[in-house]
Structure 1
Amino acid sequence: MGQGDGGRSGASARRGGFQIERATNGRYQWQLKAPNGRIVAVSAPVFESSDEAHRAVAVLRDEAAGLTARITHVRAGIGWIWVVPGPRGLPEARSSRAYERYATCQNAFRRFVALLERQLPLPDRP
């Protein structure tokens, strides 16, 4: 569900912000969308509950100013992706797509951090 959308979907939901999605396997992941609706980043791990996904979003948002990216070449194909490593070295967030140029990937990470810093806290879970 989108940040601040009260659980609505469709035309009444906000196009930008965090959205928690439930996969067909029953687990949860988040996406961060830009105001234009484009997916900017996705959670690297999957979560057992939407509450876990919400907590992960809160931690990222609180630590936005200090986040660093590991930029790597994609294994299959051409391009670069950024990954935010967590405290144990496991990925916490990643780019939603590969970028043709290294510099473009760096800029995409900077835009992710700027967008992340502007996000309001997700509503409390019932």
Structure 2
Amino acid sequence: MQPTFLSTLCKFSFITTMLTSSCLTTAQQAPAPEDQYGDGRVSEFYTWKSAIPAQAGKLLKTESIHNPYIRLANDSQAIRILYSSISGKDSKTPIVVSGSIHLPKGTPPKEGWPVV
């Protein structure tokens, strides 16, 4: 009976140790985000507090982009935009969407820069 008791005790100790160590591992705090990736919250720019226009394509807000991690290597100006659209789920609910405009360096052609 002695070996059975010892083997049971060893198994119990092993399981207890594993559970305790896994709890300690999962309780660790996530590392602080790097500046490049932000803080995980949505910027105030993306929060629209007024009624959303029913018509798609209404420009709601613009903001210059200065962050070098978001800018393109060859742009002279970068602008973040917020505008109205229609939900793709039901094709009728107005929603707010965002995008960005990046203007290349140099002089624009007579007909203006192409839109991609």
Q: Same fold (TM over 0.5)?
A: no
Q: TM-score when scaled to structure 2?
A: 0.24
Quick check: which has more Rg, 1 or 2? 2
Q: TM-score when scaled to structure 1?
A: 0.23
